[in-house]
Amino acid sequence: MEKLFGTFGIRRIVNEVLTPDFALKLAYSFGTYVNQETVVVGRDARKHSEMIYDAVISGLLACGCQVIELGLTATPTLQWACRQWGAWGAMITASHNPPQWNGIKFMEKTGKGLDREKDVEVEKIFYSEKYHLVPWNDVPQKTIKRDINDDYIRAIEAKVNLPLIQQSRFRVVVDCANGAPCLITPQLLSDLGCRVVSLNAHPDGRFPGRNPEPTPDNLTDLLTLITHASFHIGFAQDGDGDRLIVIRPNGEFVPGDYSVSLVANELAQQNIPGPIVTTVATSSMLSDIAKKTGRGFIATAVGDLVVAKALQESQGIFGCEENGGMIFPDFVWGRDGAIAAARILHIMATKEKSLDDLLQELPQYFQIKMKKTVNPEKKEKILNEIDRLTAKEKNRVTIDGYKVTYPDGSWLLIRPSGTEPLLRIFAESQEKQRAEAIVQKYLDIINSI
């Protein structure tokens, strides 16, 4: 049986694999699995999302599911709604992928994405075509709820010190990527009393302003604007609003490890129990913060669903990834860019410190993150050699690739891509030369094979 779902949902190019007929059958499968229970359905701003959205709703209704239709919204907003109402979820989005892509993410009643075991059950129904379609007179009417974004914004505001942030009158620039965040983040920042300048702030599924992936190369307009004006902070999001990128007042891109550590450092000092949960690819800053504050620390394989699951099981206080994704377990069981922005402003207001000052308080490390393309025919041989060499090291972790931590605290992680002939290489040390030397050692080995 071919695997349909990736780490979180399915993504394909529209009308090649992801056709309305495919989406309908996938909705039949999910609808059969949840057995006529309530499903919350939302979509991002892509020009073909409404087409896929209508097909998914039709399939769910045909299976007798009670459908709550949210329309255009962000992924974390839908996840928040699932948790509030105890309903399953279906989100039509391809997140940061280019405009020709789309996807479908299914959520549990907690709002967390389906784990692999549930994915497999849906896949079995899909391939067997053993759908449970109800008689015509049992097909329910859908419920339309269009004020979910306002409810979600108010819920975020209740999680921070609203009056104090409003008094600070922060000057903020935000790039919404012409995606679902357009309906949420500018309004949230305005409610927080910020003086807001918004870029790419009208929903447009062609993404005319920039590629929805919030990388430095795609954020040139934002970086230029922030350096030519006086802002306290800049934010950028991806197409479905689950990630947040932070920009310093001088236009410098804040690495995700630093933005998540800034939030973790503040939360860890609160009198709330629970470990910090992150991935093996994230900076040692997180484990340093956990150790300093006497908290537990859990490192998982890479992936927000893996982090969310470990966060639930451990009753953790905060979950995050090295790309800047943050999970606040008292709010949404998934990455959420909007509440992350509000939380950072809350920290700046309550600490009465600038973004730069807060970043300076964090442990400082030099990081290397790169991709190495390899000959597909030699990939297995290369991985076997990396396995053999890293096995000699005293502190090795293999839950996701090969990670070695050295006595001086420096570390190296090599993760093979599951879909491409490349290796993802991460290294970190307190000294630049040390990190470079660690990476070069293994690059030489890879190149020699």
As a whole number of angstroms, the distance between CA 46 and CA 143 comes to: 23
Instruction: Please pick, among 29, 49, 58, 95, the residue that the annotation labels catalytic.
Output: 95
Task: Render the burial of 311-332: b for 16+ CB within 10 Å, e for the rest.
Answer: bbebebbbbbbbbbbbbbbebb
95 is catalytic: yes
Across-strand partners of 66? 38
Among all residues, which ones are annotated catalytic? Answer: 95
